[in-house]
Amino acid sequence: MHIFHYIFPFTLLVLGSCSGPTHRDDTEQKKDTITLSDDSLLTLIQKQTFQYFWEGAEPNSGLARERIHIDGEYPENDQNVITIGGSGFGIMALLVGIENGYVSVAEGQKRLAHIVEYLGRIERFQGAWSHWYFGDTGKPKAFSQNDDGGDLVETAFMAQALICVREYYKDGNTDQQQIAEKADQLWKGINWDFYRNGKDVLFWHWSPKYAWGMNHAIQGYDEGLITYILAASSPTHPIPASTYHKGWARSGEIKSSLTKYDIPTIVKHNAKSGEVGPLFWQHYSYLGLNPKGLQDQYANYWDAAVNHTKINIEHAKQNPKQYAGYGADKGWGWTASYSVKGYQAHHPDNDHGVVSPTAALSSIPYTPNESISFARYLHEQLSDKVWGKYGFYDAYSETENWFPQRYLAIDQGPIVVMIENYRSGFLWNLFMNATEIQDGLKKLGFESPHLK
């Protein structure tokens, strides 16, 4: 394994010269937003949020910084840290930017060529990437003491993006086909079967130093579904179907009769008894995997995603703790984000009066009317309290008058991607078109109108 210690000599050419679309003065924007059509508002949000992954990228790798704090306060030694999962989301956002003309075809292609080269040079662990790396050196950064090696779920988020890149460029010109081939090699190099540790379940982490010390089995239901889909679909290191059924689906125990606000959850959430999880569980796996009509013997995953989102909306309506700014046409949506009590996995049963814009905005395919109403509330009522250089800030609380100017890659990326999937199905179409994904879903017993 090769640890990348040097800076590409053409980094400044690739990254420094591509500043992205010019944005008007904030005051001028604010004057116009009240009269924006729904379509124009969504475009504005996409283009501004896209800049997190374009102009805001870590300059050596071209990948997404874990966080960007406009207020200037960072954890120690954190400004150059890149996130593999968030970078997967960012790569998908780059494809959206290229497709929609936010950057030129040539600029976007050059950035992606640089990214796949970098991803192939940094250290991997049985083909899996670490959760974090130092972008300037390429060295892994431990997520916790025992978590200093491969992170299979973060790797799955990256692999989902690489498949989309391959599909986007595979029939292009010679240079584009080279990007597609490199993305394909990276995806096929992931040893999913190794992460079973000889059992019928996938494990989240493996470290050369601590081996299976984290001992974290990936079981449903949470954001991990895409990990099993990819592992079953791998043409090089596949898992058997039994690992999905026994591991992810818990031999059928993934099914649930739990309701919240009289809305069925359908699947058993990895949360305390009687609770539902954060909304990112309905975003990360479905940036490429199309949930429309997706079902297996355990659940209809579109219905599960829609219901989970509706539970959030109903919680905002009922507002049991009477927090300020809540409502179906105001603030709603709870997920993992910054919080008045530190980083929190917010959900209706863990509500501190903090709203995370990504929760509702990335749910737009499931609840378009409510998501757009929320976007209008943010942009027209809260305005520059929540809107900045890279779109809406990560989280806010009207109750606490708390409006930090901070961003997280894992929250910004799904906004760009899911708005695009709502509008055009662009990433869904790319991912679902992959032959391996078609075969893998059939292997696991899935049904979908998008299976050929």
Number of domains in the chain: 1
Q: What distances in angstroms separate CA 149 from CA 191, 213, 214, 317, 408, one per listed residue?
A: 14, 11, 10, 43, 22
Element (H, E) at 392: strand 391-392
Q: Is 93 left (phi over 0), alpha (psi -120 to 50) or beta?
A: alpha
In a domain, 83, yes or no: yes
**And the tokens for 360?**
């509702």
Examine residue 257 and state whether it is found in any structural domain, yes or no: yes
**pLDDT value at position 76?**
64
In-domain check, residue 408: yes
For the purposes of burial, counting CB atoms within 10 Å of the CB of 225, is it exposed (0-12), middle (13-18) or buried (19 or more)? buried
DSSP state of 24: P
In a domain, 78, yes or no: yes
Bridge partners for 133 per DSSP: 82, 140
The residues facing 65 across adjacent strands are 82
In whole angstroms, what is the distance from residue 393 CA to residue 358 CA?
9
Taking phi over 0 as left and psi of -120 to 50 as alpha, with beta for the rest, 349 belongs to alpha
**Tokens for 237?**
């290191």
Residue 75: other Cβ atoms inside 10 A = 10
Identify the CATH number of the domain in which residue 206 sits.
1.50.10.140
Task: Determine, yes or no, domain membership for 101.
Answer: yes
User: Buried (b) or exposed (e) across 233-262, using 16+ Cβ within 10 A?
Assistant: bbeebbbeeebbbbbbbbeeebbbebebee
Collapse the DSSP code of 283 into the 3-class scheme (helix H, G, I; strand E, B; otherwise coil) and give the result: coil
CB atoms within 10 A of CB 380: 14
User: Distance between CA 284 and CA 282 in Å, rounded?
Assistant: 6
Cα separation values, 109 from 63, 98, 113, Å? 14, 8, 6
3-state helix, strand, coil in the chain (%, to 5): 45, 10, 45
Question: Is 323 contained in some domain?
Answer: yes
| DSSP assignment string, 308-353 | HHHHHHHHHHH-TT--TTBSTTSB----EE--BTBSEE-BTTB--S
pLDDT number for residue 273: 86
pLDDT at 78: 81
User: Is residue 31 domain-resident?
Assistant: no
Is the residue at 203 inside a domain?
yes
Alpha-carbon span 113 to 29, nearest angstrom: 34
H or E element in which residue 391 lies? strand 391-392
Q: Give 244's DSSP letter.
A: I
What distances in angstroms separate CA 14 from CA 53, 107, 109, 145, 233, one per listed residue?
Answer: 14, 8, 10, 35, 33
Strand pairing partners for 264? 259
Stretches in the chain below the pLDDT threshold 70: 1-34, 76-77
Tokens of 164: 């989309």
d(CA 312, CA 128): 34
- Measured N-to-C along each axis, helices 409-423 and 84-100 cross at an angle, to the nearest 10 degrees, of 40
Q: Would you state the pLDDT for residue 360?
A: 98
Range of the structural domain that residue 364 is part of: 11-19+37-443
